[in-house]
Structure 1
Amino acid sequence: MTMALPLAAALFALAFSVAPAEAAEGLQGSRLGIVWAAPFAGILLSIALGPLLFPHLWHSHYGKIAAFWGLLAAIPLALTQGADAAGAAILHTLFTEYLPFILMLFALFTAAGGIVVAGNIHGSPGMNTAILGVGALLASVIGTTGASMILIRPLLRANDNRVHNVHVFVFFIMLVSNIGGSLTPLGDPPLFLGFLRGVDFFWTGKTLWPETLFACAVLLALFFAMDAWFYHRDEAFKAQSDPTPDKPVRVRGLVNFALIGVAVAAILASGLWKSGVEVNALGVHLPLQNVLRDLVMIAVGAASVALTRKEHRKANDFSWEPILEVAKLFAGIFACIIPVIAMLQAGREGVFAPLVGLVTRPDGSPSPAAYFWLTGLLSSFLDNAPTYLVFFELAGGDPVRLMGPLASTLAAISLGAVFMGANTYIGNAPNFMVYAIARQGGVRMPSFFGYMLWTGLILTPLFGLVTWLFL
């Protein structure tokens, strides 16, 4: 039995002990010291360094490690702040953020895992650029993880006879696994958390399209030039035999596109339709449209499992392990972030007052450029979803103000979390998955720091241009 079960038992015990009237006051963030941020920092550092420093131990026991940090946050919180306040905070996080977040990922992950792009194409500069462009577009529709998992193997087969092909997969991580997911809450987990916090579904696309289009256009143009140079200068490429000769491309598992459409429609409906009816779940009032959305996510995942042929998932090397890992790790993350959010909500009266100063101009207004770079740099080394939440709350946490007079601040936070997740292998979940699959396919992928050299040379100037032109 893993420690995930004791974590769940402890959290639910706290949650079910809530007396709603007493718990309404919530946590007093101004009374919490910096030590309360230690479990949150601990779990993020574990996620960042565990797979690199002790990979075998991490992959065998990551659930126990996440549970340890979650309990280290939840139990002291209940003992010092009261079981009612702690339980209310846990219940609210469970029903309004954690479950919708995991169920959306489950639905898209399961459906995307049933779509197979079979056959083989020739990895010319034009074709490679087209695949990266299509992948960047898909990333905002089926998520960066879904788009990455669908296209990584066709791209591998297209370029398996090329001697110099590392750059193809480096740019794939930048564009498909990260920057392309900037236009909808479906694209990247940070943006979906913003949607759950009240950010309008269409606000992201309407606001971030200029920066996203600019970044993608620059990267695609740079990639085409680089790929053309390698393609024409590499004489060894011309003599290489192709282990996977060209074959007509076939897309299988098409029913999953329809299921993804159902999931997207349900998420859209939950943002557009206001039923006026609420469901009381242990003292947490949930709008009916959100409850129905989450039930549709479960139905989409179940339907995909039932309707997708087993050989299609086998062709994708589909495994439930990635989504199980995300579910376990984010259970710990959401438990650990509860006191951090409370401290951030305290603003200048809390321990994070110096951080408020870093992102504030002398006149007291927020600095979008500072939000972009601080959110981005932390997202490069820590998980970008909780990092987004930290800066969302630091900016006030009011979605109406953040979409209105502070729209440039929310745009900066969103761009920083999504764009700079590409800076390292650990900045966003698909990055390391693409790295592992490419290495397994024979690509000599750069090391952790070697990849950072690539992104430092390519992305740092690009993000500087984004700051100068848009922020």
Structure 2
Amino acid sequence: MPLSRLPRVLLAALPALLPLPAMAAIDGAALSALWALPFAGLLLSIALMPLLAPRVWHHHFGKFAAGWALAFVLPFAASHGLGSTVHDILHSLLLEYLPFIILLSALFTVAGGIDIRGNLHGSPRLNSGLLALGTLLASITGTTGAAMLLIRPLLRANDNRRHKTHVFVFFIFLVANIGGSLTPLGDPPLFLGFLKGVGFAWTLQHMLPPMLLASAILLSVFFALDCYFYRRESADTLARDPTPDSPLSIAGKINFVLLAGIVLAVLMSGLWQSSVAWQWQGLDITLPNLLRDVLLLLILLLSLRLTPAECRRANAFDWGPIQEVAKLFAAIFVTMIPVLAMLKAGPHGAFANVVSLVGGSDGAPVNIAYFWLSGLLSSFLDNAPTYLVFFNLAGGDAQQLMHGGASTLLAISMGSVFMGANSYIGNAPNFMVKAVAEQYGVAMPSFFGYLAWSLACLIPTFAILGWVFF
């Protein structure tokens, strides 16, 4: 597959390498809450346009995303100066968005080259087993890797069923979110914590009990729900299987080696403490992070080069899902700059009332508030920078948080990772699963329809977790 077919977003940052004037960061304490309107407008577009004008949205969602990004950038640059605006945009796109989308693209490409052939019968027991397997894999391969590896076998297993939307909703809940909570490799918020000094073993030890409880509750609910819908299928429908049951086999095995390479590259960037770094326009570009991104791009190219073409054809692999994620999340990362700046300003920012909820009158942290606020914001902001905001609000010292503030760090980690499942935009794999499922003809819920599923299934689960752990 030629380089010209790589997601164009990976090349979009090249203009940012041009020389620019000196810059200063945006002062969140000086911002009005009105600067959050472009972000709110983008969220409303993602929520409403697929309902009101689905064809227009399908063909032009990138233009809508760019429009909302410009609705923030142009007036902000005019009123606050080009320097501070460009500084924060570069910081968001080069140091946060670009590594984020490179990692997602590498996982998407490598997992998309593994062709799990054959077909199984999509019974409640098998579906529950696949969801449980994906939940366990997600902390090793990342939520994106696990989701892209198992979504197509799950689609084929259920392609003869009429009632199957719930299967992929719970797949997002478990495989694309909650399953990635055991290691820094699983989900971007925990990876950022790892880079800040949170120990690999700390995450595994402290996140294991809530992950097991959340998974047990949701898998039990899913099994009961899938049994109900399975009984509603007619015998004729189940008999007309477009892909009859056949033994499983795996092609494109080289991608398992490349998947291990992704894991090692990510671990290297967190464990290697190098003093080599470059200062450019006020941004710290470190050697381990730069090398990680270069290695991930090389792994992506190797996967395209070494994977037999029939594997990707069998998976109906194309760049559509990753391009949708890349375009929408580029705009999300830009438009949420003022929102995060106001949150970082703490009691001095426009969202001081929100920030005040996480601290008691005696200054002690209110851990249940950290859990719900980090979680609810992670539902609509990207969960990785939201994690960092609350990590810094809690003091920002990994050693202190891992010991004296362990409950607070656990609350932030659980909220950011688990509640990324609450909406399609809470975590990038959510959108990717939705896009792939729709490519296969599954009628996925609308933005608000998915929120209804979250309210019915996830919020009660999180209420139990909050009661048990905080």
Q: TM-score range by the shorter chain?
A: 0.7 to 0.9
Mapping of 1:346-385 within 5 angstroms?
Answer: 346-380=345-379, 383-385=382-384
Deviation readout 1:154-186 (Å, 9 max, x if unpaired)? 223323445654543343232122221222344
Code of the residue aligned with 1:356 in structure 2: it is: V
Deviation readout 1:190-230 (Å, 9 max, x if unpaired)? 44455566655554333311111111122223434454566
Instruction: State the distance in 1 between where 2:170 and 2:13 align.
Output: 39
Structure 1 vs Structure 2 CA RMSD? 3.3
The residue aligned with 2:219 is: 220
Instruction: State the distance in 2 between where 1:166 and 1:47 align.
Output: 20
The residue aligned with 1:72 is: 71
Instruction: State the distance in 2 between where 1:238 and 1:11 align.
Output: 54
The residue aligned with 2:36 is: 37
C-alpha spacing 1:280/1:251, structure 2 compared with 1 (3 Å): same
**What's the % identity of the aligned pairs?**
57
Code of the residue aligned with 1:17 in structure 2: it is: L
The residue aligned with 1:312 is: 311
Structure 1 residue ranges without an equivalent (≥5) = none
Question: Which of residues 6, 20, 26 is equivalent to 1:17?
Answer: 20
Deviation readout 1:43-79 (Å, 9 max, x if unpaired)? 3333333333333222322222222333333344434
Mapping of 1:31-430 within 5 angstroms?
Answer: 31-162=30-161, 165-195=164-194, 199-200=198-199, 203-228=202-227, 236=235, 240-380=239-379, 383-385=382-384, 387-388=386-387, 391-392=390-391, 394-395=393-394, 399=398, 402-430=401-429
Code of the residue aligned with 1:330 in structure 2: it is: F
Deviation readout 1:253-275 (Å, 9 max, x if unpaired)? 11111111111111111111112
Deviation readout 1:7-58 (Å, 9 max, x if unpaired)? 9799777xx4332xxx4x6332222222222223333333333333333222
C-alpha spacing 1:123/1:394, structure 2 compared with 1 (3 Å): same
Secondary structure at the counterpart of residue 419 of structure 1: helix
C-alpha spacing 1:399/1:163, structure 2 compared with 1 (3 Å): same
Code of the residue aligned with 1:421 in structure 2: it is: G
Code of the residue aligned with 1:326 in structure 2: it is: V
Distance apart, 1:309 and its partner CA: 1.5
The residue aligned with 1:28 is: 27
Q: How many residues align?
A: 461
The residue aligned with 2:5 is: none
* Alignment TM-score, normalising by the size of structure 2: 0.85
C-alpha spacing 1:460/1:256, structure 2 compared with 1 (3 Å): same
Secondary structure at the counterpart of residue 359 of structure 2: coil
Deviation readout 1:104-133 (Å, 9 max, x if unpaired)? 111111111111111012334432222111
Distance apart, 1:308 and its partner CA: 1.1
Instruction: State the distance in 2 between where 1:196 and 1:210 align.
Output: 23
Instruction: State the distance in 1 between where 2:201 and 2:270 align.
Output: 9
Q: Is the 8 A contact 1:29 1:344 kept in 2?
A: yes
Secondary structure at the counterpart of residue 280 of structure 1: strand
C-alpha spacing 1:412/1:53, structure 2 compared with 1 (3 Å): farther
Code of the residue aligned with 2:324 in structure 1: it is: E
Distance apart, 1:102 and its partner CA: 1.5
Secondary structure at the counterpart of residue 360 of structure 2: coil
Deviation readout 1:398-419 (Å, 9 max, x if unpaired)? 5555545444333323322332
Instruction: State the distance in 2 between where 1:452 and 1:237 align.
Output: 33
Code of the residue aligned with 1:63 in structure 2: it is: G
Secondary structure at the counterpart of residue 266 of structure 1: helix
Secondary structure at the counterpart of residue 128 of structure 1: helix
Structure 2 residue ranges without an equivalent (≥5) = 1-8
Q: Is the 8 A contact 1:17 1:83 kept in 2?
A: no
Distance apart, 1:293 and its partner CA: 0.8
Instruction: State the distance in 1 between where 2:61 and 2:198 align.
Output: 32
* Alignment TM-score, normalising by the size of structure 1: 0.85
Of 246-255 and 451-460, the range deviating more from structure 2: 451-460
Secondary structure at the counterpart of residue 187 of structure 1: coil
Q: Is the 8 A contact 2:321 2:435 kept in 1?
A: no
